Amino acid sequence: DSGVTQTPKHLITATGQRVTLRCSPRSGDLSVYWYQQSLDQGLQFLIQYYNGEERAKGNILERFSAQQFPDLHSELNLSSLELGDSALYFCASSVGSGAGAARVTDTQYFGPGTRLTVL
Amino acid sequence: AQKITQTQPGMFVQEKEAVTLDCTYDTSDPSYGLFWYKQPSSGEMIFLIYQGSYDQQNATEGRYSLNFQKARKSANLVISASQLGDSAMYFCAMREAHGSSNTGKLIFGQGTTLQVKP
């Protein structure tokens, strides 16, 4: 058990809908990262938050958004869902901000993932 | 550009034997970290081992060790005394200290599926 929790574990919805994925980081971790894992794209970084502030953006679609709350949990919002959004969505957390040389040793611990199926 | 290559889509190993999973990487940053993760069929991503680019010694964690060859830009994972529970997909990942995108993101390889035979 990594200490990172994600809910729900599974989500089945229809095209055009909106869903919210939730993540609670490990105790003491200030950074939260979101990744998408799909068969064709592999594991792709979406976005990072550090202590409530957006730190970095990756291949995140405009239909997707995220935020990190004062208690450090994070939510990933996916809207206008398409079939191609079906994937496993991971949240990871780490102690550091991911800035500078220190990021090299800042291990990211992953949650169990949310499997999203868009029908 | 930073890139991770895992050339073995699938591997088989006999229980109790050792196995090496290959990983090569490409980066121009002299400071970087290399990570291995295990993903069982249940889906979660489990951190296994870390190697820093300036580390003098190869990393070891229990039955896992990293064969780090910096000049060849390879960071192969060695699993000794394989167990049935080692059957999973294994991902190699890298994080640069001063990447051009200036993010802390991990770049992952495509993964290697390991099957341990009884």
pLDDT of B102: 57
Which of B8, B17, B13 lies closest to B92 in space, CA to CA?
A: B8
Mean pLDDT of A56-80: 95
CA distances from B10 to B5, B36, B86, B105, B113 (A): 14, 16, 13, 26, 5
Span A74-116, pLDDT tens digits: 999 999 999 999 999 999 999 877 666 666 778 999 999 999 9
Is pLDDT of B70 > 80?
A: yes
Q: What's the CA gap between A117 and A43, in Å, rounded?
A: 17
pLDDT of A59: 83
Task: Kindly report the nearest CA distance between residue B92 and chain A, in angstroms.
Answer: 11
Tokens (6 digits) for A61? 């679609």
Out of A55, A56, A113, the one facing B44 most closely (by C-beta) is A113
Partnered with residue A68 across adjacent β-strands are: A74
| Low-confidence winner among A27-36, A78-87, B25-34, B86-95 (lowest mean pLDDT) | B25-34
Q: What's the CA gap between A32 and A97, in Å, rounded?
A: 9
Span A16-41, pLDDT tens digits: 999 999 999 999 999 999 999 998 88
Residue B51 contacts A, CB cutoff 8 Å: no
pLDDT of B103: 65
Sheet containing strand A5-7, edge to edge, reads A5-7, A19-24, A74-78, A64-68
Q: What is the DSSP string of B85-114?
A: GG-EEEEEEEEESS-TT---PPEE---EEE
Span B53-69, pLDDT tens digits: 999 899 999 999 999 99
Residue B105 contacts A, CB cutoff 8 Å: yes
Q: How confident is the model at residue A62 (pLDDT cuts 50, 70, 90)?
A: very high
pLDDT of A44: 94
Query: In chain B, what residues touch A8 (CB-CB under 8 Å)?
Result: none
- The SS3 of residue B118 is coil
